[in-house]
């Protein structure tokens, strides 16, 4: 499932993050890439230990914890601390698949990457290029979203970031270990939850709502991977 999640951050939060990030010294993004990814990765990044990354990452994680659409679609069990990156001057990230398991440094925690998320911190008019392009069985899908919006997609997807030929593309990325490992099962649960919410708004007293809610939770109970 590929999902656009709007307004994860408010315009004020985006402006505050950009003010801090624009005054921060960036590092070569290849320092945090594996051998294969390093051959196609050309960007700037903050390491997860960087105090700015930790400060802004906490803000983003709190926002995700309040976002009903993210919680419904991702069913998060663990979220890898957000990393912040910057593409400019032709920077790009060639076609790749994200690492299957990531270690949270200093915490003794491993996160299985079921879902990847990119939160845009630059407005589309601020830069040329920089589209996040994902390939699946239905073809290529490009995302270049307003600042504060997020795209959520399976970490199994082949994807790339097109070269930025003008301006700078600033974004945050994180990975989610879901309660439900399989994308098809997560998608069914998300669609059922969306339908239940719509029914609850339009016919809140309908007796079938209780039965359908039970079905949702019994499926989640069956598929949850703890």
Q: Is 98 annotated as a binding residue?
A: yes
Q: What percent of the chain has pLDDT over 90?
A: 87
**CATH class for the domain made up of 183-223:** few secondary structures
Any idea which residue has 């504060």 for tokens? 148
Identify the band that residue 136 occupies on the pLDDT scale cut at 50, 70 and 90: confident
Phi, psi for residue 218 in degrees, rounded to 5: -70, -35
Any idea which residue has 């076609």 for tokens? 95
Domain residue extents for the chain: 3-178, 183-223
- State the pTM of this model: 0.93
The pLDDT score that the predictor gives to residue 105 is 85
Q: Is 102 annotated as a binding residue?
A: no
Q: Is 96 annotated as a binding residue?
A: yes
User: What CATH number is given for 3-178 in this structure?
Assistant: 2.60.120.620
The pLDDT score that the predictor gives to residue 175 is 98
Identify the band that residue 138 occupies on the pLDDT scale cut at 50, 70 and 90: confident
The pLDDT score that the predictor gives to residue 221 is 98
CA atoms 49, 50, 53, 59: torsion sign = positive
Q: What digits encode the pLDDT tens for the residues 147-179?
A: 999 999 999 999 999 999 999 999 999 999 999
Q: Is 77 annotated as a binding residue?
A: no
Phi, psi for residue 198 in degrees, rounded to 5: -65, -45
Provide the β-strand partners of residue 132: 143, 161
């Amino acid at each position: 499932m590929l999902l656009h999640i709007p307004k994860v951050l408010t315009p004020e939060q985006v402006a505050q993050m950009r003010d801090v990030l624009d005054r921060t010294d960036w590092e070569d993004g290849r320092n945090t890439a594996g051998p294969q990814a390093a051959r196609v990765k050309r960007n700037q990044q903050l390491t997860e230990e960087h105090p700015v990354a930790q400060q802004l990452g906490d803000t983003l994680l709190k926002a995700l914890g309040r976002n009903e659409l993210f919680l419904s679609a991702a069913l998060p069990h663990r979220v890898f601390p957000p990393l912040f990156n910057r593409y400019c001057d032709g920077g790009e990230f060639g076609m790749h698949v994200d690492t299957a398991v990531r270690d949270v440094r200093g915490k003794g925690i491993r996160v299985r990457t079921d879902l990847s998320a990119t939160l845009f911190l630059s407005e589309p008019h601020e830069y040329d290029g920089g589209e996040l392009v994902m390939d699946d069985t239905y073809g290529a899908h490009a995302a270049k979203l307003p600042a504060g919006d997020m795209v959520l997609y399976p970490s199994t997807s082949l994807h790339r970031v097109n070269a930025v030929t003008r301006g700078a593309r600033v974004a945050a990325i994180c990975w989610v270990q879901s309660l439900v490992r399989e994308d098809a099962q997560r998608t069914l649960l998300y669609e059922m939850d969306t339908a239940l919410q719509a029914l609850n708004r339009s016919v809140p007293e309908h007796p079938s709502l209780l039965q359908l809610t039970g079905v949702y939770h019994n499926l989640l109970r069956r598929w949850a991977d703890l």
